[in-house]
Amino acid sequence: MLENPLENLDTYAIRQNLNLLISFHNHVQGFFNTNLSKSQTDETLNKNEKLLLKEAYKNNLPLQLRNSVLLMIFGHLEECLDLKCSDMGKLASRDKNKSGVDRYKTFLVEELRIDLGNNSEYSYIKDCQKIRNLLIHSAGRVYAHMDNFQELQKLIKRNSKYFVTKNGRVSITSEGLQKLNLSVASFTEMITRA
């Protein structure tokens, strides 16, 4: 049975916003696939040009797209958390000394009574936040953070289906992006219903 969007407009709007981000990803990925096919049959291009375009459309651009959508999903999540704090008149409960989803931990635990310790969605979101921070602060270079290099290596190894490193830079896989989308959808729904 279809859910009546007016029954819980916040949940509906959040789900729609996430769906738009994934639709954007899929649309641009389709563009890459189309251009890959066209470039390989274009007789005006030489072999080297075709190889460069193949690498770009098959690997480099999809990787950048996935990482960009990861950042957009985090923007969406933080907006959702901020709006929930604002709606409840609890903006002061945000921890200004922290960033990202960590800023809202006290609010989530004390105000919304969400058990974060046993929440698999939150756990994966926290792992993704570490990858997000690498992307934002060092273009994904894992070795640029020697102070927590071992921790990052373990995180990537533990989530090898979701994160990969190439040339010392981490990125999210297609599976990782799907899991993040589902985790954020579930987690934000939990927040809006709290």
What are the pLDDT digits (tens) for 64-77? 999 999 999 999 99
pLDDT at 1: 45
What lies within 8 Å, CB to CB, of 114 at 6+ separation is 108, 122, 190, 191, 194
Separation between Cα atoms, residue 188 and residue 13, nearest integer Å: 11
- Tell me, yes or no, if the pTM score tops 0.85: yes
Listed by start position, the domains of the chain span 9-193
pLDDT at 163: 97
pLDDT tens across 77-86, in order? 999 998 888 8
Separation between Cα atoms, residue 113 and residue 159, nearest integer Å: 28
Question: Six-digit token pair at 180?
Answer: 């993040």
Name the residue among 182, 115, 183, 124 with its Cα closest to residue 155. Answer: 124
Q: Which residues in the chain land under pLDDT 70?
A: 1-8, 145-146
